């Protein structure tokens, strides 16, 4: 086990700790090291609420609890039965189970949550994002019980949470809007008719939705019918509301949003923009603030329209107005999210504000403490959403499992990690597979991106497949670095799907040299006797090794010679000097190759010489053999590939909701089925 307790206590003391003591130490460290990079002040004399319930789970519940602790507010966590040992449950002052794993029976179970509020006498509720955060009925029920909802009132939730009504209000507030049908689509036939009138392509999306859920792009009648069916199903499942709307799909836009903050006294601010164009399946993957694309005039125009919309509905809380921006910097209202956004940390980094604190203050009735002229853009912040997903499948299909080893890169300067998991946590099929939000800050964009690259290399996640390889490739891609991005970035850059990092010749030699040095270092360690007076019969004076390294489709002869703590490695007729402390017990290994520092992770190895190494974000499989073993291996029979001709295997975990065939039907090779 690799955890904070082992680091601070030592192995002997660690072995004497109970599981509860270990978890307590880890939790204290989590609270101290996470959630940094903003400079908000907390006035202990400013009274708000004595007790607040968080109607959410995971990282956002933890995020709210941290601010509440700083404000002196006691917290109540709710959880499903499978979340009984979740981090947010341990962090809160009180925790109550509200039902079984399915969200409809737990985190969306208003009756159960209302009962917990009464039992715990919570004075206020913060809904986080998702779940009930934009549910007007939940806000209404809270108001009826005299409980404060940390968010806007029911009128604003109704007006802005409904995509149809919000679009009409935006038009009346003179906010630029996308052409489309201003009403509810009744059925698939009407959807086709409307789509034809608007002109393909069109966007079908949930009226009550957000976060990319219930959204489909249709390019023809058939896709419109399919999109209507799937979007309505997903909308009903995610939001309890299957109403859909259709609007013109703006091809190749940027997705840029404005953070707004308003109080109950008529004051409203725009807190600059967030660039959210890197997406897959209409869900954001990488965000940054500010945007490389906006000039001061466009930023001001977008901010003023966002504030005008907020004032039009008497909005009071933190909210986000999302826009699509074309190549000519024309911008169009997309939707308003009446809640805290997932990507809010980048705004906190460049403004110094704690948005959760501001939401709580506004809900209590305090006026805003700042004027528009006070809102700065200090530096640059980048956020990567780290998911338990396989990026090699449609840029990310969910992965499940237990985090057998987990270490956040908090030792890297100016890094913030918002997470709701720890080593031993389960990533299940029931909830979003997000592991964390990884945020880096710099005085400029180049500095923030360089720190993100370092943070991703130093992030240890074992037990589940994750998307770090994709995130790292995105932030170092020349197009991204120069700010040439749109919502089509991923399919344009990777038209055949993501394949991982493509090694240059130099990088290939660095990987081969590192792997060979690691192999030799391990061989030398295995010859040492520690903690015993036993003396070897004969000292090994071996100082050179001839190896054969199999990487991809190539087999490479590699010669290694030892020189003190360094290795001189010859690959492709070129010599490389490889230096490291060779701490083989550490999940992270810092290696210097001809003066270039790399952080690698060895994920696995076995007796046959096979090893997996995470290098430049991507995991590479190698086999390292001695020259003799390599020559003999050609006589070994190859393992037969698995026969999958009679197997229908789902590419991701989930429940089969529809099978479009019945016994006796003819199934062609190109046929497909849907599992969600």
Q: Which of 257, 335, 389, 453 is catalytic?
A: 335
C-beta separation of 265 from 476 below 8 A: no
Q: What is the largest CA-CA distance in the chain?
A: 90
For residue 8, CA distances in Å to 5, 105, 590 come to 5, 41, 21
**Coil, strand or helix at 240:** coil
C-beta separation of 301 from 270 below 8 A: no
Distance CA 48, CA 50 (A): 7
DSSP-derived letter for residue 290 is S
Find the angle CA(530)-CA(532)-CA(535) to the nearest 5 degrees: 95
Closest CA to 56 of 159, 150, 156: 150
Closest CA to 58 of 28, 81, 88, 84: 88
**Coil, strand or helix at 297:** helix
Report residue 553 as tokens: 């489709």
Closest CA to 619 of 599, 603, 598, 597: 603
Q: In what order do the strands lie in the sheet with 283-289?
A: 331-337, 317-325, 254-262, 268-280, 283-289, 380-387, 434-442, 415-419
Report residue 145 as tokens: 């019980």
In the residue annotation, 669 being an active-site residue is answered as no
* Nearest-10 crossing angle of helices 154-161, 163-172: 90
C-beta separation of 614 from 635 below 8 A: no
Q: Is the peptide bond before 15 cis (omega within 30 degrees of 0)?
A: no
Element at 280 (helix H, strand E): strand 268-280
Name the residues annotated as catalytic: 335
């Amino acid at each position: 086990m690799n955890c904070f307790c082992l680091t601070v206590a030592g192995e002997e003391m660690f072995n004497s700790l109970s599981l509860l003591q270990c978890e307590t130490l880890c939790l204290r460290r989590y609270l101290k090291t996470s959630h940094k990079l903003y400079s908000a002040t907390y006035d202990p004399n400013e009274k708000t609420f004595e007790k607040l319930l968080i109607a959410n789970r995971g990282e956002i519940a933890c995020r709210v609890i941290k601010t509440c602790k700083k404000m002196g507010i006691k917290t109540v966590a709710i959880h499903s039965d499978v979340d009984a040992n979740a981090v947010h449950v341990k962090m809160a002052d009180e925790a109550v189970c509200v039902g079984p794993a399915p969200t409809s029976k737990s985190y969306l179970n208003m009756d159960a949550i209302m009962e917990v509020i009464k039992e715990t006498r919570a004075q206020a509720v913060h809904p986080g994002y998702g779940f009930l955060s934009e549910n007007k009925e939940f806000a209404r029920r809270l108001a009826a019980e005299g409980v404060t909802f940390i968010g806007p009132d029911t009128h604003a939730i109704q007006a802005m949470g409904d995509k149809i009504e919000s679009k009409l209000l935006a038009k009346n507030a003179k906010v630029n809007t996308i052409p489309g049908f201003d009403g509810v689509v009744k059925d698939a036939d009407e959807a086709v008719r409307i789509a034809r009138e608007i002109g393909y392509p069109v966007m079908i999306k949930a009226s009550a939705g957000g976060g990319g859920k219930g959204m489909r792009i249709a390019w023809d009648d058939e896709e419109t019918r399919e999109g209507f069916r799937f979007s309505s199903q997903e909308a009903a499942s995610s939001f309890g509301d299957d109403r859909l709307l259709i609007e013109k799909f703006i091809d190749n836009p940027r997705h840029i949003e404005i953070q707004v903050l308003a109080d109950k006294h008529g004051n409203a601010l725009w807190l600059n923009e967030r660039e959210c164009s890197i997406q897959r399946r209409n869900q954001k993957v990488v965000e940054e603030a500010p945007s490389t694309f906006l000039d001061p005039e466009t930023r001001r125009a977008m901010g003023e329209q966002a504030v005008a919309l907020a004032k039009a509905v008497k909005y009071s809380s933190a909210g986000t107005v999302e826009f699509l921006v074309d190549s000519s910097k024309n911008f169009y209202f997309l939707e308003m999210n009446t809640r805290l956004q997932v990507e809010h940390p980048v705004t906190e980094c460049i403004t110094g504000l704690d948005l959760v604190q501001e939401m709580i203050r506004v809900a209590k009735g305090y006026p805003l403490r700042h004027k528009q002229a006070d809102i700065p853009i200090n530096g640059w912040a980048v956020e990567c959403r780290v998911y338990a997903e396989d990026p090699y499948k449609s840029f990310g299909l969910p992965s499940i499992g237990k985090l057998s080893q987990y270490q956040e890169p908090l030792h890297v300067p100016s890094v913030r990690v918002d997470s709701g998991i720890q080593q031993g946590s389960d990533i299940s099929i029931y909830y979003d597979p997000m592991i964390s939000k990884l945020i880096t800050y710099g005085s400029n964009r180049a500095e923030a991106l360089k720190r993100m690259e370092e943070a991703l290399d130093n992030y240890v996640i074992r037990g589940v497949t994750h998307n770090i390889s994709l995130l790292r490739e995105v932030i170092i891609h020349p197009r991204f670095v120069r700010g040439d991005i749109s919502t089509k970035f991923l399919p344009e850059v990777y038209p055949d799907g993501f394949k991982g990092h493509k090694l240059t010749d130099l990088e290939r030699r660095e990987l081969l040299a590192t792997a060979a040095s690691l192999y030799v270092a391990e061989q030398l360690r295995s010859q040492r006797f520690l903690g015993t007076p036993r003396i070897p019969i004969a000292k090994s004076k071996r100082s050179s090794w001839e190896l054969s390294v199999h990487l991809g489709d190539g087999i490479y002869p590699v010669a290694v010679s030892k020189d003190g703590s360094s290795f001189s490695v010859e690959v492709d007729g070129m010599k490389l000097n490889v230096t490291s402390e060779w701490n083989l017990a550490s999940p992270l290994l810092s290696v210097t190759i001809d003066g270039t520092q790399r952080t690698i992770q060895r994920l696995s190895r076995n007796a046959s010489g096979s090893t997996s190494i995470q290098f430049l974000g991507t995991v590479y499989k190698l086999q390292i053999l001695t020259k003799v073993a390599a020559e003999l291996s050609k006589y070994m029979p190859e393992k037969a590939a698995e026969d999958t001709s009679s197997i229908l295997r789902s590419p991701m975990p989930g429940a089969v909701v529809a099978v479009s065939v019945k016994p006796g039907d003819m199934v062609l090779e190109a046929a497909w089925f849907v599992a969600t």
